[in-house]
Every structure is written in C-alpha cells, then in structure tokens.
Amino acid sequence: MNVHIRYSEPESDDRLGHAYDGIGHRTIDVLKQLLPFDDYDFYLCGPPPFMQSPYDGLTGIGVRRERIHYESFGSGTGLKPGDRVEALVRTGQSGEGTVPVRFAKSAITAEWSRERGSLLEVAEAAGLAPLFGCRSGICGTCATKITSGAVDYIEEPLAPRRQDLLLCCSIPAGAGAPADGANPGVVLDL
C-alpha cells in the first residue's frame, strides 16, 4: 500500500518527505499524478465538502458513479445533487411536486422541488446567502427560525436544533405528498 499525505497548511516544523508528502488539497490532477487510473474502483471517506471535489473530478473524467464508493463523516450525505432527497423519495417520505418557500425578511418566495435539494440550496438559488459551514447537519451554522409550516430532515442532524431548523439538511414537511389542497409550504425568518 502506498500512502500519500498532504497538508493544506504545514507548520514550520513539519518536514516535507517526513511528516507529509505534498502541500495543498488533493485535487483530481494530484490523483492523476499518483495513480495509474486504470480500471479501478475508488473509495472516498471524509466530510462531504472534502469528498465533493474528487467525486466531481472522477465523474468529470469519465469514471462511472458505480465505481466510486464513499462514506461521510457525520450524517450520511449524497455527493450528487438531489441524491439525499432521492433517498427520501424512495422511502416514501417525500414525493413529486413543488412547495412554496417564503423567505420573510427578504420578501422572496421560491419553490422547493426534489431536484432543488435542501432548503439551503433553495435559498441560495433564490439569491440569498445564508450562513453555512458543514452543509451536513453537524455544525449548526445554518440554523434558521421557521415562522410557519414544518420540515422533514433529509438526514437526522447531529447539531442541536432548539426551535430553529437546519437549512442544509431539511426540506418542507410532506413535500409533494398527495394531499387534499395545496401544501401551504414553509415560511422562514430569512
């Protein structure tokens, strides 16, 4: 087994070739230098933002998704947009259709649909810039007050919620599920 250790910010007493083998993030170009890139499976493990770049890079050079296996630190998260919501759809917790999302402070109304992902992604697509950190329910940075409506969690978050919701891993409750009358959606204090 060959191990290649990279530090994004080595300390002054870290010695190249001893403590670490390279500086900077592990990009797809670094992987191409280190690996023969033949007919292989790839295994990724780490926080989702750490894995997203190699995942995108590998699929970008034609590696099939089924050859890329990954495990998230913290709550499980899909790397392909819509993966997490697709999982909810498969388990019957969410369905087709759109649901209104009102950002009250910004006086903006958007629509959630399963292709649009989490409420954080809906807010960003609407031109808002809510605070976020991990984007996977761990840090609590994206906590936002909900004024009306309810949400389902794509994954059970690790961060405490109190009366706030975590934008990065939530979608409108019962989103798209068949119901009498339209889903009234959610109103967020954002």
* Shortest reach from residue 136's CB to ligand FES, in Å: 6
Q: Tell me whether residue 63 or residue 143 sits nearer to ligand FES (CB atom).
A: 143
By the 10 Å C-beta count (0-12 exposed, 13-18 middle, 19+ buried), 99 is classed as buried
Q: Does 137 bind ligand FES (CB under 6 A)?
A: yes
Q: Which stretch binds ligand FES (CB under 6 A): 34-42, 50-58, 104-112, 127-135?
A: 127-135
Which residue in the set 140, 173, 174, 177 belongs to the binding site for ligand FES (CB under 6 A)? Answer: 140
Q: Does 190 bind ligand FES (CB under 6 A)?
A: no
What is the Cα–Cα distance from 40 to 100, expressed in whole angstroms?
44
Q: Does 123 bind ligand FES (CB under 6 A)?
A: no
Interface pattern 3-42 for ligand FES (x via CB under 6 A)? ----------------------------------------
* Shortest reach from residue 168's CB to ligand FES, in Å: 3
Q: Tell me whether residue 99 or residue 139 sits nearer to ligand FES (CB atom).
A: 139
Q: Does 138 bind ligand FES (CB under 6 A)?
A: yes
For residue 18, the tally of other CB atoms under 10 A from its CB is 8
* Shortest reach from residue 120's CB to ligand FES, in Å: 7
SS (H, E, C) the chain: CCCCCEECCCCCCCCECCCECEECCCCHHHHHHHCCCCCCCEEEEECHHHHHHHHHHHHHCCCCHHHEEEEECCCCCCCCCCHHHHHHHHCCCCCCCCEEEEECCCCEEEEECHHHCCHHHHHHHCCCCCCCCCCCCCCCCCEEEEEECCEEECCCCCCCCCCEEEHHHEEECCCCCCCCCCCCCEEECC
Q: Does 84 bind ligand FES (CB under 6 A)?
A: no
Tell me the site size for ligand FES, rule CB under 6 A: 13
User: Which residues would be at the binding site for ligand FES (CB under 6 A)?
Assistant: 132-135, 137-142, 159, 166, 168
